[in-house]
Amino acid sequence: MKGKTIAKTMAVAMCAATLTLCAAFAAGCSEKEPEEDTKEPVTYPQYLNTVETTEVYTKTALYVMNEETDRRIYCIETVPNDVAEGEKLPLIIYVHGSNGSSTSLVGKQGDTYFTSRGIASINFECCGGNNIKPMSDGEEIYSSHYTSRISDLEAVIAHAKTLDWVDKDNIYIYGQSYGGLVCMFDAPRHNEDIAGMFLESTGITEDGSNLTMSGNGVVEKYLPPEDYEGYINSFTKDIMMFCSEGDELGADENSAYTYSIYEKRMEGNTRYYLFEGGKHAFSTYEQEAKDKILELMAAFIENGGIPESELAGGEQSTQQGGDQAQTPAE
């Protein structure tokens, strides 16, 4: 009797298991209704969050889409807090060096100084331009070629021109180190909508070798022509250059050579400042030099070009501490 009970129990269990398998098979064979995608499509610019707020300015993070490369560019807009409705502000677009980020314009001191003078900025991380903690797309193309970065700059300039609070007649570009090459070779495309250019610790090597350096993500349409000197000299707006005499990467030699090229321009003034002390990065400059650079840049922007007072003493000068500019002897 006991054996019959066990057999009956096993039979019931087997039937139940068979029914379960059949149900699972039937469910697998039936067509499943596709789930409706309820996510909103992402539109650009995509504003993310407020990064920092002080008594003087607010920093906001966002993504701008580079349609040419289909990569997102991480940007930070730094805007004065007291902007009146309808007010238009001058804007500096900053391009970092070989391996950089979008944190600030020449440090916190620069953010505070410029916004207190009513000048806003956009700093962005070039795609493939950061191998420490990248925020932009393009990690796979590190270290990205300067033509890829020119494409990014083009996208950021286009974005800037859509902003209600930007004075479209007062947009400036600022390139540091490798970012200087990016600005120099993009500027001639923007004689109508870029008001001037700042170059820090940068320049072309005398043999042009840094224009043929390897890099990833080349965008061929931005490669310079064979006559690259003539090309960069087609930029007609004023240019202000800064460098340290103690630059450990040799940017002082490159900037001096680049200045000699810009001197040949038929239109547009160039001013070159060589500072004692400091190294390649702005953060290493002596405090008096930092103060002087910020003052010179603000005067340039507020004047719409290099002030006459800065042109009167000659083009190239050496700054010693906070002294007046002196023109080197011939």
pLDDT of residue 247: 81
Q: Which residues pair with 59 in a beta bridge?
A: 52, 78
Percentage of the chain beyond pLDDT 70 is 82
Per-residue pLDDT at 311 exceeds 90: no
Question: Considering the entire predicted model, what is its pTM?
Answer: 0.84
CATH architecture group of domain 46-319: 3-Layer(aba) Sandwich (3.40)
Mean pLDDT for the chain overall: 85
Per-residue pLDDT at 103 exceeds 80: no
Mean pLDDT of 97-107: 75
Question: pLDDT tens across 277-297, in order?
Answer: 888 878 778 889 889 999 999
Whole-number Cα distances in Å, 146 to 43, 131, 154, 161, 186: 27, 16, 12, 22, 10
Question: pLDDT tens across 196-226, in order?
Answer: 999 999 999 988 888 887 789 999 999 999 9
Q: Give 326 or 168, the one with higher predicted confidence.
A: 168
Rg (CA), the chain: 28
pLDDT of residue 283: 74
CB within 8 Å of 117: residues ≥ 6 apart: 298, 302
pLDDT of residue 104: 64
